[in-house]
Structure 1
Amino acid sequence: MELNKIKQRLELALRPVEKPPTLEEVLEEVSTRGVLRGPVDWVFPAWMLYVDYVVQKIAESFQLTEEEKAQLLQFRHAMRRLLLDMWKQTKEKLTALHKAVVEGMFKIERGRLYAPGAWMYINANTPHIKINDISTSARFSDVLKLPHERLELFQLGWRASDESQKKRWPDMETAQPWQVFAWVATRYGDVYIRAAMVNLTHEGVSASIHIIARSWRHRWSKAEAISLVVDYLRRGEWAPLFTAWLGDGNARWSKVLRGKYILSIAAKESWRLGLVASTYEALVATGREAFVKLREAADVYGELLDLLKAHKWTYIKLATDDGLRVAYKLMKEREKAVLRLKESLQRIRS
């Protein structure tokens, strides 16, 4: 990446925040984009606000024992502490990098930019910094209370998509706050949480969290999981495909708002999942009925995704609820009109 673009990304990341994030803003971002992006001093408070909100909603909405509620609160505390430390380290590193770039006190070597006290990866479309030595452990409650056989179907879909393997344990790295809770609900128990990295985007930063589920052991390779998802689908069981789509499904908002329903999943070996739509995309199904099947497969999991405001779940609901889709389109049109009005007023004032 060119040096002036790196400097611009650093300035976007470090720009002052006029006001702290509101819960409404955070939930809007999660429900439409999944990822929280913005200045460092906005993103990390937004993450913490979201964690607080979700833990409270889960405690209110699901039948949990007092011990399970206490575990949830401890999980919240662990996440907040990790995010606070991650915020501090991110700010320190990006400030040092920006100062070095401005003053010319840096060197570039093997795709990295080195500055006094910090370095970053720049040999990619999205430069990023690694976060060091920030981790915690916690325990997440069994929120869904699903029979093991049913829970395993959801685990299978995650394994076929975003879930990886750390030694013998399942793990997940994500920049999407909703996905932290959606995944760990299927891998409840003892979890190890690590601050992974911070990406420098066109809008500021996004933060990635790495979670290892230490109460579970891996059962399937990636290829085995994908094959099993397909086998279950052929037998009429959509639950594994549901979580596979939550992980790697392509959400094409403009198409679904126009009533065009395409269920496709990003995959390196796309031929395993269905018709090859492109090199890394499988076309699994078309038509509204496919999304109806996904929604039905969610069962109680859908209740959790509702309160998480997960953007992939919002997409499924838009595809299956005509009234909601019309209301959503009207809301977006009003938002665009308000934005145009604000821009016009700003031009007049300037």
Structure 2
Amino acid sequence: MDMGTASPEGWRTGPTDLLAELYTRAQLANRELPSLVDGQKKYFYVSTEAIIDVLDLPLDKADTLRDFAEKAVNLLDKAYQQTETKLQKLLTALESNNVKVELGPRAKKTLHITPEGEKWYVSAHFRETWLISLPIYRVSADAEFPDILNVSDQDLYYLQAGWRASDESCDQNKPRMGTTQPWQALAWAAVRYGYLRIYLSALNLNMTEPTFAWTITSKSWNQQWPKREGKKLAQKIAEQHPLGMLTWYLGDGEKHPEVLRFAIQNDEKYEPKHLAQQILQVAYQTNYGILLDLLDSEKWQILKKLQPTRDPVYATLLGHTFWLSYSARAQQLLARTVLKSLEEAQRLIQALLQQGVQAKTYTWYDPKTGKNYYVVQLNGTNIARAAQLYPELRPALKELAQKHNIQPKTPLLRRLLELAENPPLPTKNLIS
């Protein structure tokens, strides 16, 4: 579909809005490209030297890591030459009305913007906003990343599961990672150490600042969780151990001041603050926590600032002590109890279900004892159902509401506050 040509002036009409935005972003990328390249080159040099020094790597591993950094820097130099030339050609073509906009042959929601006389094109995909990328061709290298962590096979397994649960994909049965963050590339390579193929595949023309798209394929590992269902399986494994939850968070987790938030396709998963303390403790028992300190990951720093809720609110239900937590940002209320065996957890879940109260269970690993425990969890709707049936829950609800100044912003919160402030007599008429 040829959408014609346009110039920088008067583009705010019809399909040429995209070209106006492309022109603005290309100008920004052209200005910021030198600092982007210099910044990432410096990052690789400084980070690898810090890793060598703090982790006290032997000479052979230090040399291997320095060679990895040097190859990454060489790729940045090559990408700079190519993207600088393409950006200048793109800007010239836009200014002289010499571009063609077409629908991609396979992706119906992707547009290709091609400067006249060129075989390459800029890709633009609309998903809430325009995602625009400038291609980089034939900028790749083979490299080796040493084993710098020396963790146990079990710890490594959970670290790998967490990455697969989030950003890691599969390339012909080999693990592959795509990222725009150099720290993420290094954090992932540390758990998929060995021989790697590194690509710089695109320059993303963003509204705020340009970014490089790094793609790394592990040649030394086979993907333990292949195909589409592999990601779901990896998520189930990752949530069994704090190290798995850590790398899942580093990939798909989102920065949040109150809870750990994970992206699961189009849904979200929330975990309480106290999990952050478990993650930190186990991470520092391995070298992975130290590595993340050296990489200066923003996500890791935010995780370290999360503190568990002080003076937790407790309630007794069916002979088990539950602790209640509330997230103001997520407007989410949860109740949890920890049991020593799966059988005990299943008996409690069945007893609740007989009263119309649904609960779920998941495994929690305690690094202090080295044992797995089983957490039974109620969400807000089922806490309200339980509070109608079991009056002993209501004083705890009132205490939690006062402690967090919970406001009736949703029908569920309003119902919970009604139960807390003016509880009715127990009834078998459960709320829907």
**TM-score over 0.5 for the pair:** yes
Give 1:230 shift.
3.3
Q: Distance in 2 between matches of 1:67 and 1:153?
A: 27
**Equivalent AA in structure 1 for residue 271 of structure 2:** A
The residue aligned with 2:123 is 121
RMSD: 1.8
Give 1:6 shift.
1.1
Whichever structure has more helix as a proportion of its residues is 1
**Equivalent residue for 1:155, pick from 157, 160, 166:** 160
Whichever structure has more strand as a proportion of its residues is 2
2:44 pairs with 1:51: yes
Post-superposition CA distance 1:139-159 (Å, at most 9, x none): 111110111221111001101
Q: Distance in 2 between matches of 1:314 and 1:168?
A: 33
Greater radius of gyration (CA): 2
Give 3-state SS (helix, strand or coil) of 1:170's partner.
strand
**Equivalent residue for 1:250, pick from 235, 239, 254:** 254
TM-score computed with the length of structure 2 as normaliser: 0.62
Contact 1:97/1:119 (<8 A) preserved: no
Q: Distance in 2 between matches of 1:145 and 1:138?
A: 20
Q: How does 1:174-193 map to 2 (within 5 A)?
A: 174-193=179-198
The residue aligned with 2:216 is 211
Q: Distance in 2 between matches of 1:61 and 1:145?
A: 14
Give 3-state SS (helix, strand or coil) of 2:175's partner.
strand
Q: Distance in 2 between matches of 1:294 and 1:202?
A: 34
Q: How does 1:89-100 map to 2 (within 5 A)?
A: 89-100=82-93
Q: Distance in 1 between matches of 2:289 and 2:213?
A: 24
Give 3-state SS (helix, strand or coil) of 1:243's partner.
helix
Give 3-state SS (helix, strand or coil) of 1:183's partner.
helix
Q: Distance in 2 between matches of 1:150 and 1:263?
A: 21
**Equivalent AA in structure 2 for residue 119 of structure 1:** Y
The residue aligned with 2:61 is 68
Deviates more, 1:212-221 or 1:222-231: 222-231
Flag structure 1 segments of 5+ consecutive residues without an equivalent. 16-38, 269-279, 323-350
Give 3-state SS (helix, strand or coil) of 2:167's partner.
coil
Contact 1:262/1:283 (<8 A) preserved: no
Post-superposition CA distance 1:248-283 (Å, at most 9, x none): 00112xxx2xxxx22221111xxxxxxxxxxx2322
Post-superposition CA distance 1:119-177 (Å, at most 9, x none): 20124312111111111011111110111221111001101110011102101010011
**Equivalent AA in structure 2 for residue 226 of structure 1:** K
Identical-residue share of aligned pairs (%): 27
Q: Distance in 1 between matches of 2:308 and 2:92?
A: 51
The residue aligned with 1:264 is 261
Give 1:225 shift.
4.6
2:21 pairs with 1:5: yes
The residue aligned with 1:297 is 282
**Equivalent AA in structure 1 for residue 114 of structure 2:** Y
Considering Cα pairs closer than 8 Å and 6+ residues apart, tell me whether 1 or 2 has the greater RCO: 1
Pair 230,203 (structure 1): closer, same or farther in 2 beyond 3 Å: same
**Equivalent residue for 1:226, pick from 222, 225, 232:** 232
Give 1:203 shift.
2.3
**Equivalent AA in structure 2 for residue 46 of structure 1:** G
Contact 2:161/2:235 (<8 A) preserved: yes
The residue aligned with 1:112 is 112
Give 3-state SS (helix, strand or coil) of 1:137's partner.
strand
The residue aligned with 2:170 is 165
The residue aligned with 1:238 is 242
**Equivalent AA in structure 2 for residue 191 of structure 1:** L
Pair 296,93 (structure 1): closer, same or farther in 2 beyond 3 Å: same
Give 1:52 shift.
0.5
Flag structure 2 segments of 5+ consecutive residues without an equivalent. 1-16, 104-110, 310-432
Q: Distance in 2 between matches of 1:232 and 1:245?
A: 10
Q: Distance in 1 between matches of 2:297 and 2:308?
A: 16
The count of residues paired between Structure 1 and Structure 2 equals 278
Pair 104,311 (structure 1): closer, same or farther in 2 beyond 3 Å: same
Q: Distance in 1 between matches of 2:125 and 2:238?
A: 40
Give 3-state SS (helix, strand or coil) of 2:261's partner.
strand
Runs of 4+ with >6 A deviation: none
The residue aligned with 1:198 is 203
Q: Distance in 2 between matches of 1:99 and 1:241?
A: 47
Post-superposition CA distance 1:56-106 (Å, at most 9, x none): 101101132211111011111111111100111111111100100001111
Give 3-state SS (helix, strand or coil) of 1:146's partner.
coil
Pair 191,65 (structure 1): closer, same or farther in 2 beyond 3 Å: same
TM-score computed with the length of structure 1 as normaliser: 0.76
Q: Distance in 2 between matches of 1:61 and 1:49?
A: 18
